Structure 1
């Protein structure tokens, strides 16, 4: 008699990928804290990205909980210093798990009712610097990322940057889902393989998937922490 096979544990996550230009300006949706941060940003590009990201986050959460975007109240207390620049937590539903990421003209938002999530999006240009390997890669992945080739990725410099960006977004999404962010050195663990549950640096289990990005020169990944086997990505 064969032992009963365990059904995979599936976790649904809603994901929004948008370009900054597609979100459009909606300053009336931002709260006092968000407007204050926005006013302090030096460059126009940074201000556009910040505003669009937080507008998209409010619209996404509004859709998830059925509350007007302007009525949503967030706490952003940093677990390290106590300042208001940490992960957003919805005060009226703190069990809702949120993650937001910006990369140049692109934004990613992830929302889950089930488990902590982390989403990250990055341009390939952002990982094009000499010290990337020593500052971001674990020794187990160094040769694979730097020398490739990896399946489905172009060779040469383009392929290397794509592999770097893929490794980086998987790592940062993982650290966000685990709730530690970049307080954990990214060189301490290899980027998790997509679609497999793994334990990261004794901090907990995660499963990671790559997200298809419809614009060139960008990579994105989504991570969920907990005893899950499959992420059901619900693109919005």
Structure 2
């Protein structure tokens, strides 16, 4: 999105470029300034003053999501200086997420979640292998290659199990907290797309300036 707005009736003395950030995280009861919500390009004589313009003070009524529309920023700049010409570039609003102080997870809760995820993933893999008759396939491959019948062809099962774990590490591109390379994993891409959809929904439904109900007229 790009646009421009001339504020004031006389000649323009200051040209200000505003590019709204996409998302910002703040703490409860924190004051948000213009430098926090947007990138600013302006004359050096007013640059520092523009950066320190207060945009919003977080209160308990704000809950955890706040949407600041670019029109509010333009109104603040107009109130700051009538001779400013504002040109906006980028998204029309910013999503501010209020991050409360998180509680430390207890070790019993951590272990419970770990066991649920571990055994849930193990059962999923086992059920999949049972559905596709993986053991029978390995037995037949072993018989075809060696000419012998073995109910437990470990020469296939052990490498297959190791390869399954290695493949999951390569797929998710992580070993614990260490990334194997800079390429995002499919899970990260899906989480990114989900976050974009969520932000679009929040922008439309939480931004009071983007929607008007019949009772608001």
TM-score by length of 2: 0.27
Compare the two structures and name the one with the higher strand fraction: 1
Task: Give me the TM-score of the superposition, normalised by structure 1.
Answer: 0.25
Q: Give the structure with the larger helix fraction.
A: 2
Higher gyration radius (CA): 2
